[in-house]
Structure 1
């Protein structure tokens, strides 16, 4: 038995959307009592820390409806079923920024919100990017604007909450740590 394991008694799918599925599980708690868990199932996602030859970090500005505001974020997107995360990262970089790379390095993977979702986010880094003439088209319902910032500017954006999502804040912290080595 796993420490603090909650055994599923019953699971009911509530919603099956284009990106996420929502289910409600009835679980038996370690103390024998029961409770309900609302769980978002997500296919996983990728994100890229991309650095230009001028040592600027590539971001995109995008409106986020759940927040009713725009954020500055590192390029990212969801995995397609069975898709290799590194291939997805290259695809997302190209679609969102018009840059491509042949050289990605894996940084880390983490769960974005494990209290209610199973999304696993894979982060890669590259400092070998090239603007391409005919990049892949962005998703038809996605509107983004390219933003390139120095690390100091990115840190300021974190303080100003223009950068305010976990993956991008992680990227800035990661680059800050690399700079200090």
Structure 2
């Protein structure tokens, strides 16, 4: 059986600064009509920042949807027409006031394909130094930086302070890389 659905129509429900929401009418593989609510997003980057002491950088900030402070890897939305690696450079400057001599793409993935098309570009950054000229942070963005070791990062997952997929993915990747280096 072919699993592809056929889009019959689409209606924009909401168009905001970060997301757009559409309601689609589709024809399912068995010939039935169904509705799909889809969140459209331009895409984002996240970056595992590792210093020369083998610590990773986390950004602590309030997340209103969760009603709590979370600890996350630096991340940000890709601006229209911006190359994802340039987004990493911009976000490192704005959020953590660092530049990296080495930035490498690890992988890409969709954050929640059941209802959103947000594509995340996961990078790792090494060989860090302070930025020469800092860009302003986004309005309303209040951040606290925290350097942690791998065991400390794993403890933050266990405590629920690291609770988002991008950061858990970064920590697991970091752990796997350390395991591979120690073979």
- Scaled to the shorter chain, the TM-score interval is over 0.9
Cα drift, residue 133 of structure 1:
4.8
| TM-score scaled by length of structure 1 | 0.96
1:120-146 deviation line (CA, Å, top 9, x unaligned): 000110221112353211101211111
Question: Matches of 1:3 and 1:105 in 2, distance apart?
Answer: 37
Residues 1:42 and 2:41 aligned together? yes
TM-score, scaled to structure 2? 0.95
Q: Which runs of 5+ in 2 are unaligned?
A: none
Shift of 1:164: 0.4
Q: Which runs of 5+ in 1 are unaligned?
A: none
Q: CA deviation at 1:159?
A: 0.9
Alignment of 1:145-164 (within 5 A): 145-164=144-163
Q: Which residue of 1 aligns with 2:109?
A: 110
Q: Where does residue 123 of structure 2 map in the other structure?
A: 124
| Matching residue of 1:19 | 18
User: SS at 1:66's partner residue?
Assistant: coil
- Partners of 1:10 and 1:78 lie apart in 2 by 28
Tell me the secondary structure at the aligned position of residue 32 of structure 1.
coil
Aligned positions, number: 180
Equivalent residue for 2:4? Answer: 5
Q: Which residue number in structure 1 is paired with residue 57 of structure 2?
A: 58
The whole-number CA distance in structure 2 between the counterparts of 1:152 and 1:131 is: 26
Runs of 4+ in 1 over 2 A off after TM superposition: none
**Superposition CA RMSD, Å:** 1.2
Map Cα deviations across residues 25-54 of structure 1 (whole Å, 9 max, x no partner). 000000000110000000000011111122
- In structure 1, how many angstroms separate the alpha carbons of the residues matched to 2:69 and 2:132? 27
1:82 Cα deviation from its structure 2 partner: 1.1
**SS, match of residue 128 in structure 1:** strand
* CA–CA distance in structure 1, aligned partners of residues 72 and 28 of structure 2: 38
